[in-house]
Chains A and B, each alone.
Chain A
Amino acid sequence: MKKYLVTIAAGAALCLTAGAAMAGPTLDLVKKNGFIRCGVNPSLIGFAATNDAGEYQGFDVDYCKAVASAVFNDPSKVKYTPLNAKERFTALQSGEIDMLARNSTWTMSRDTQMGIMFTGVNYYDGQGFMVRKSQNISSALELNGATVCVQTGTTTELNLADYFKANKMDYTLVAFENNTDVNNAYDAGRCDALTTDASGLYATRLALQKPDDHIVLPEIISKEPLGPVVRQGDDEWFGLVKWVGFALVNAEELGITKENVEQMKATALDDQAQLAKDPSYKAKGSPDAARLLGVDGTFGQSIGLGNDWAFNVIKQMGNYGEIFDRNIGAGSKLQIARGLNALWSKGGIQYAPPIR
């Protein structure tokens, strides 16, 4: 028994030292390497996929690029590591990558038990429904009596049952083992509706025979908050990645875009100069923008960067709305509606703490 205890203690000590050794300053390593090692999905439509030239692009990929822009003012300073679902967290824990931007759902067990930390939510995903336009349905609540295609053995199936029960509706289940079969069955007209995570629905729609004949209903019936992840134990790096995400959302809120960021900064600088001369001068730009763009205050220094960190991010990548739009939103082939991912001021729940 004693022997066991010793073994366990030794094991625990090993784990602790391993954890402690990991807690090194990631930012220093990143700066020394000259690039960020970012774990991404090998291929997920709109979020991370290679283009014809073999370069990664997508919504999650842009988060890697945004962090690289903050650190190096150069979005190309990223080394992408394609990771599958099983190895993603191991790769982060073992120090193979500096951050993970791979459509990972933020759950309590992952956040508290796996030695990793979610830096925020960049995409509120959740289970939704897709139907044919010809059915003239505009809400999931009109699906009473529908046949629904679903993948077996997933939480999707349970969520579906709960939702229909809660809303006192009937449905007929058509379940398949594998995702391709589910999609093919829906495409062949074996069911009225298809259900899975909303981002997946939009992706599936592209692969249907006639994508334009289908719509995704607005209801989201489960919570799948996706976000970037970093290793536990390096608070500075955690703060950096977290605030790059917040800066993107704040920029959208303040109306700062890739286009006008230079001009906004110029305005803020001008305001500052005028104010120094004449205290009663009425500023043209908002004080929030001045702080975000590094004109006022030293917020960049508190995360180990220069004060123009957010300016560089927006200059290179645009704001949250622009990133969303060009990769998965209206400006992309996927055409995902903003929905929950609209700003809090516009009916969504994307909300960033202020930079003060």
Chain B
Amino acid sequence: MATAAELAYVQREEEPILPAPRSEIGAFAWFRQNLFSSVGNSIVTIIAILFLAWVIPPIVRWAFVDAVWTGPDREVCLPEGVGACWAYVNAKFAQFIYGRYPIDERWRVNLTGILFVAGIVPMAIPSIPFKRLNAIFLLGVFPVAAVVLLTGGHFDISFDWLFGLLVVAALLSGLVVAMTTDVRERGLAGIVTLLAIAAAVVAFAYGDGRDTVGYFAGDVGRGGLVNARLVILVAGSAALIAGLVAILRTPGEPGAGRVGALWIGAGVLELVFFALTIDFGLRPVETQLWGGLLVTLVVAIIGMVTSLPLGILLALGRRSKMPVVRFLSVVFIEFWRGVPLITVLFMASVMLPVFLPPGVTFDKLLRALIGVALFTSAYIAEVVRGGLQAIPRGQYEAAAAMGLKFGPMMRLVVLPQALKIVIPGIVNSFISLFKDTSLVLIVGILDLLGTVQQGFNDANWTSSKTPATGYVFAAVVFWMFCFGMSRYSIYTENRLNTGHRRR
């Protein structure tokens, strides 16, 4: 009988590493594991393949093989068997992008686009530094530059405008008076209020009484304009200096920073208005001439940028303990959510001119922009409110225990968490806003889709193939933008994910 030791087998060298079996690696294994892992799966796979084989070839044939790519007019698309009439898209492409924007001024649109990309791309990539400067450029400098470039600038700011601005200033500083507890601050804000009211009275008394709002240079008499601009320039500079002095001379004193910021804000605002009145020698281009993708992007981007902060404020207002604020927020949100966007736009285009005094025109695109922004802000408000409700009560209490007031508590503790949760909801609203821009069609502003449709009625291009081609083109463009937004949102969600995601 052999001993256990004799029978024992001790492996002294390593087994050679064998390649994985055929059934575990390579394309074959992948197919087996993913597509044909069970009878049910195999059936679904086969049906899907058959479906694709049935659907894709005709689409490819229509869109590429049988398509007509270039040509002078509809004749090239008329022969039987012709698929997509890309010649139509080709001929009208510039119009789809710029609308009726004058051809020799289109570089301004391009430049605006380049500036925007130059601002947004580094903003969107987290690893690029100088985010603060970047934000100042994107939210401060770029909008002014874009307005000047696209419209031509040289706005006619009459005394009526100035009067309005000063009234707003008076109201704001009056608000500070009402809310602050600091005696010095109250005194300063009180002086600002009185000054603004006095200036408003002067502006009103010496105003030229013109009731044209937002007219471009050259349309109307320019009497009084120089003085109004001068007042804005002087007041703006003075406010800026006063703000800096307030901050620099009394460092550390409570309230000084806030008053300084108020002054600086007012100064910057007035200087922006001044910048808009400068004649840069650009030919004015009325928004009437804008169209195509330009309008789609202008409406969508301005809608997004204005509706997000407004929506956050409304959401906070709706959860506020102050009854008046809460009531107003609820009324606002419920009103705009309860009215269809089409109705809002119709009101803006058909009803508004009836109520305005005769002779006053109000830019149509601006009307639509305001309508779209307010409408979207109501939706964003509800999305953000959902996020606020998801933040546990403990977070608020902890922040309060740290001695944070309402503002810092929201800014530092609650909103960063709440907004992170609602990214999908916000992006959802933005994507639907992007697609809703086409509704401006019904008030006579032609966005991308409107321009494409308009082209169907050019006798040079009317044919039975044009509409299908045009709609496919518009759909592809819309899809690219919406898909881009969706992907970036997912990326941001993952980047900010700090443990809430289910794996």
Contact (A332, B91) CB under 8 Å given A42-B444, A43-B454, A79-B286 = no
- B442, A84: Cβ atoms under 8 Å? yes
Complex Cα distance, B349 from A82, in Å, reads: 12
- A207, B462: Cβ atoms under 8 Å? yes
Query: Is A259 part of the binding interface, using a Cβ–Cβ cutoff of 8 Å?
Result: no
Contact (A95, B359) CB under 8 Å given A43-B453, A54-B99, A84-B442 = yes
Q: Interface segment, B262-270, B302-310, B350-358?
A: B350-358
C-beta contact mask, B60-80 vs A, less than 8 Å → 1, else 0?
000000000000001000100
Q: How far is the CB of A246 from chain B (nearest CB, A)?
A: 27
- A206, B94: Cβ atoms under 8 Å? no
Query: Is B288 part of the binding interface, using a Cβ–Cβ cutoff of 8 Å?
Result: yes
Residues on B with C-beta less than 8 A from A93 are 353-354
Q: How far is the CB of A60 from chain B (nearest CB, A)?
A: 12
Query: Is B207 part of the binding interface, using a Cβ–Cβ cutoff of 8 Å?
Result: no
Among candidates A51, A56, A95, A206, residue contacting B462 with C-beta atoms closer than 8 Å: A206
Sample of 13 A–B contacts (CB below 8 Å): A18-B358, A21-B358, A42-B454, A46-B459, A51-B458, A52-B91, A53-B103, A54-B99, A87-B443, A94-B354, A94-B356, A207-B463, A207-B464
Residues on A with C-beta less than 8 A from B453 are 43
Query: Is B41 part of the binding interface, using a Cβ–Cβ cutoff of 8 Å?
Result: no
* Chain A CB within 10 Å, residue with most, of B450, B459, B463: B459
Contact (A50, B460) CB under 8 Å given A81-B288, A94-B356, A333-B74 = no
Residues on A with C-beta less than 8 A from B356 are 94
Complex Cα distance, B288 from A56, in Å, reads: 13
Among candidates A21, A22, A333, residue contacting B459 with C-beta atoms closer than 8 Å: A333
Sorted from nearest, which 3 A-B pairs have the closest CB atoms?
A43-B457, A94-B353, A206-B462
- A52, B358: Cβ atoms under 8 Å? no
Q: How far is the CB of A354 from chain B (nearest CB, A)?
A: 34
Q: How far is the CB of B42 from chain A (nearest CB, A)?
A: 41
- B464, A96: Cβ atoms under 8 Å? no
Complex Cα distance, B74 from A53, in Å, reads: 16
User: Which residues of A20-74 have CB atoms within 8 Å of chain B's CB atoms?
Assistant: 21-22, 33, 42-46, 49-56
Residues on A with C-beta less than 8 A from B464 are 187, 207-209
Q: How big is the B interface, by class?
A: 35 or more
Query: Is A334 part of the binding interface, using a Cβ–Cβ cutoff of 8 Å?
Result: yes
Query: Is A269 part of the binding interface, using a Cβ–Cβ cutoff of 8 Å?
Result: no
Residues on A with C-beta less than 8 A from B74 are 206, 333
Complex Cα distance, B78 from A96, in Å, reads: 41
Q: How big is the A interface, by class?
A: 35 or more
- A332, B358: Cβ atoms under 8 Å? no
Among candidates B350, B450, B457, B467, residue contacting A87 with C-beta atoms closer than 8 Å: B350
- A90, B463: Cβ atoms under 8 Å? no
Among candidates B99, B219, B358, B455, residue contacting A22 with C-beta atoms closer than 8 Å: B358
- B359, A21: Cβ atoms under 8 Å? yes
Q: Which residue of A lies closest to B90 (CB)?
A: A52
Residues on B with C-beta less than 8 A from A86 are 346, 350
User: Which residues of B340-384 have CB atoms within 8 Å of chain A's CB atoms?
Assistant: 346, 349-350, 353-354, 356, 358-359, 361
Q: How far is the CB of A180 from chain B (nearest CB, A)?
A: 8
**A interface, CB within 8 angstroms of B:** 18, 21-22, 33, 42-46, 49-56, 79-84, 86-87, 90-91, 93-96, 187, 203, 206-209, 211, 332-334
Residues on A with C-beta less than 8 A from B108 are none
Q: Which residue of B lies closest to A20 (CB)?
A: B358
Complex Cα distance, B450 from A169, in Å, reads: 42
- B346, A332: Cβ atoms under 8 Å? no
- B353, A91: Cβ atoms under 8 Å? yes
Residues on B with C-beta less than 8 A from A207 are 456, 462-464, 466-467
Complex Cα distance, B211 from A95, in Å, reads: 14
- A45, B219: Cβ atoms under 8 Å? no
Residues on A with C-beta less than 8 A from B350 are 86-87, 90
- A96, B353: Cβ atoms under 8 Å? yes
Query: Is B232 part of the binding interface, using a Cβ–Cβ cutoff of 8 Å?
Result: no
Query: Is B319 part of the binding interface, using a Cβ–Cβ cutoff of 8 Å?
Result: no
Residues on B with C-beta less than 8 A from A33 are 219
Residues on B with C-beta less than 8 A from A53 are 95, 103
Residues on B with C-beta less than 8 A from A83 are 444
Q: How far is the CB of A268 from chain B (nearest CB, A)?
A: 36
Residues on A with C-beta less than 8 A from B150 are none
Contact (A49, B286) CB under 8 Å given A94-B358, A333-B460 = no
- B98, A54: Cβ atoms under 8 Å? yes
Complex Cα distance, B92 from A84, in Å, reads: 22
- A51, B460: Cβ atoms under 8 Å? yes
Query: Is B100 part of the binding interface, using a Cβ–Cβ cutoff of 8 Å?
Result: yes
- B103, A50: Cβ atoms under 8 Å? no
Q: How far is the CB of A197 from chain B (nearest CB, A)?
A: 15
- B100, A50: Cβ atoms under 8 Å? yes
Complex Cα distance, B99 from A137, in Å, reads: 43
Residues on B with C-beta less than 8 A from A90 are 350, 353-354
- A203, B462: Cβ atoms under 8 Å? yes
Q: How far is the CB of B116 from chain A (nearest CB, A)?
A: 22
Complex Cα distance, B453 from A42, in Å, reads: 10
Among candidates B353, B361, B450, B460, residue contacting A52 with C-beta atoms closer than 8 Å: B460
Complex Cα distance, B361 from A211, in Å, reads: 44
Query: Is B446 part of the binding interface, using a Cβ–Cβ cutoff of 8 Å?
Result: yes
- A54, B460: Cβ atoms under 8 Å? no
User: Which residues of B96-131 have CB atoms within 8 Å of chain A's CB atoms?
Assistant: 98-101, 103
Residues on B with C-beta less than 8 A from A42 are 444, 446, 450, 454
Q: How far is the CB of B220 from chain A (nearest CB, A)?
A: 9
- B457, A44: Cβ atoms under 8 Å? yes
Residues on B with C-beta less than 8 A from A333 are 74, 459-460, 462
